[in-house]
Amino acid sequence: MQALLPRPEYPRPQFVRRDWQNLNGDWEFAFDDADEGLGAGWNNGRPLPQRITVPFAYQTELSGIDDQSIHEIVWYARDFEIPATWREGDLLLHFGAVDYRTTVWMNGQEVGHNRGGHVPFSFNIAPYIKEGTNRLTLRVEDRQDPTQPRGKQASSGIPRHCDYFCTTGIWQTVWLEPVPQMRIQSLTITPHLKEGELEVRVFLHAPAQSRRIRIEVRDGDDIVAHADKSISSASVRLTLTIPDAKAWSPSSPHLYDLRVSLLQDTQLLDEVESYAGMRSITLQNKQFLLNEKPTYLAMVLDQGYWPDGGMTAPSDEALRADVEWTKRFGFNGARKHQKVEDPRYLYWCDKLGLLVWDEMANARAWSPESEEWFLDEWERVVRRDLNHPCVVTWVPVNESMGLSDLRTGHAGQYSFIERVVALTRRLDPERPVIDNDGWEHTDVTDIFTVHDYTPNSEKLLMRYNETLRGGPLPRISGGESTEGEAWGVPLLAGKAQYHEQPVMLTEVGGYMMFPPADCEEERDTLYSMYAGCATPQELLEKYEDLMRGVAKLPFVSGFCTTQLSDIEQEVNGLLSYDRRPKIAPEQIAQIHRELFGIE
């Protein structure tokens, strides 16, 4: 039956149990613009008037509703049954992501709450389950609050410039998982390639006495490492030696399979399956080193929107296809932009070999309260994605979004950036952290990133002429409009200084391809910021010209071009919105091979 459901694949590929039930598909649904649902008892089993296909937001075609207007409160409900054997232990109700504030009821009893639109959450609903049919109800608030982390969702609800339609409510898979009361809660997997070791921290749901953790590491059908250790608390660390460890990289994305078991004597209490990639990341001599080798990053900006599903990919195959398109164009990495992507995307990056910059969806305004909302959600993002070998960089903030006073050294906003970076490093000391991608950097960034939309190589080299002569970087990030007017934002915030970090141009290009007759009519902020082109051949020529300029900047160790696909009015992708290539991918890949050595 699950094969007939939308998005039927297992939603958490790095922490797999065999038994589960997908709750995607047909749900009851209602708008609650008058905020009357609670008072009217909608949580107590009342049928809701509309139908929606989960996990697609009501704004999308695939939801079956396709209404892009703003509705700040929505309700969901559905009935389900479970096998009798699942009532013997705990039963976890999982949500991949629900935007933004969620309240959950089971059979009319309030189970719990969540705040955060881009991270998973779960509840143990075993105490609320009854024999036969059970009823699940959700109330979701998604206010047009600019202090709420929203990424590229337009606060007006109307796509304009670089913002798109909103995503409200459930937008990732909902599922059930029967689990024992004494169980494995989570894993932290850290590769140490140079030492040939894999460090695994196992966290249990509750403290354990007289139990053991057993780990097997497999390379195909062969067990290449194993460990068995007693545990008398809620966590334990095991270090496994991997003989002749095979390094993970974009050109050779080798993965080891893991099986982690919790035992009492010879009785198996719980078991999960995962995987790991052996790779290292360091920054040295202003370069990015992957597996101790200098690696030039040729990346593409990927915002992860689809014309029929919005932020939700229509299928797992669509997620895989985006990774495959990225590699066909000759990129070795993607900067996931203003979106915490579905874990299945990261799985395909792990499997197929693509480096990922993991970026948070930002707010549009700042307040002391919004700092705490952001930090709470960002910590959960890092913990969720920590074990993926493809993730090589953390990007909590982009272009001072929500921090409009950062450039003047606003004390609260500056210290917030430092606080975010410090938190990220405590959670993960292995990967670099970008404090504020693009401009207005503080002192603490690991990579000095610059957004530069200079339209061609001649002007790009003129812009960096002083730097090429041994001078400093330009003071301003930005570019030149199609009318020839310069624009930009300071590279440094307040009294911050450049500390010889690696330099990368993490937004470049962005050529809008549209018919010449449309140019004059469409010269709003978006169209004037990006350069334009009328034909695929012109797009190819402008891209190659700009890349030749980037390649002549020896102080630059990577770039990210804007962008992989068109999204609504922002038509500057290498692919159209429905994923048709505007240029033969092999032509772009050849440019990357010739200029940057990307294989």
Q: Please, what is the angle between helix 411-427 and helix 368-385, to 10°?
A: 20
- 287 lies in some domain: no
Look at residue 449 and tell me if it is in a domain.
yes
User: Among 131, 148, 179, which residue terminates a domain?
Assistant: 179
Q: What is the CATH number of the domain that holds 133?
A: 2.60.120.260
The answer to whether position 282 is within a domain reads no
375-387: pLDDT as tens digits: 999 999 999 999 9
Q: Report whether pLDDT(254) > 70.
A: yes
pLDDT at 138 over 80: yes
Kindly state whether residues 381 and 523 are assigned to the same domain.
Answer: yes
Residue with tokens 């050849």: 590
Look at residue 168 and tell me whether its pLDDT is greater than 90.
yes
Residue 516 has pLDDT above 80, yes or no: no
Query: 308 pLDDT exceeds 50?
Result: yes
Domain co-membership, 414 together with 314: yes
pLDDT at residue 543, rounded to an integer: 97
What local confidence, expressed as pLDDT, does residue 531 receive?
Answer: 82
Report if residue 184 sits inside a domain: no
Same domain, 147 and 240: no
How far is Cα 86 from Cα 380, in angstroms, rounded to an integer?
A: 28
Strand order in the sheet with 355-359: 391-395, 355-359, 333-336, 297-302, 556-562, 503-509, 448-453, 476-480, 486-490
- Percent of the chain at pLDDT > 70 equals 96
What mean pLDDT do residues 119-135 have? Answer: 97
Which residues, listed in sequence order, are joined to residue 178 by a DSSP beta bridge?
Answer: 91
Asked whether residue 517 carries a pLDDT value surpassing 60, the answer given is no
pLDDT tier for residue 89 given thresholds of 50, 70 and 90: very high
Domain interval for residue 408: 293-596
Distance, CA of 362 to CA of 464 (rounded, Å): 30
Phi then psi dihedrals of residue 538, to 5 deg:
-65, -40
Q: Are 138 and 270 part of one and the same domain? A: no
In a domain, 185, yes or no: no
Domain final residue, candidates 246, 276, 306: 276
pLDDT band at 1 (very low <50, low <70, confident <90, very high): very low
* Total domains in the fold of the chain: 3
3-state secondary structure of 243: coil
- Residue 285 within any structural domain of the chain: no
pLDDT in tens, 188-235: 999 999 999 999 999 999 998 889 999 999 999 999 999 999 998 999
Side-chain-side CA neighbours of 412 within 13 Å: the count stands at 12
Residues 81 and 133 in one domain: yes
**Cross-strand pairs, 105:** 110, 137
pLDDT at 2 over 50: no
Do 132 and 233 sit in the same domain of this protein? no
Does 199 lie in the same domain as 101? no
- Do residues 312 and 392 share a domain? yes
Residue 283 lies in a domain: no
CATH number of domain containing 262? 2.60.40.10
Residue 343: which CATH number?
3.20.20.80
Say if residue 373 is in the same domain as residue 350.
yes
In the numeric block, the tokens 């798109």 are attached to 164
Based on the fold, state whether residues 428 and 577 are members of the same structural domain: yes
Region 489-496 average pLDDT: 92
Instruction: Classify residue 132: in a domain, yes or no.
Output: yes
Residues 157 and 199 in one domain: no
pLDDT at 533 over 60: yes
502 and 554 part of one domain? yes
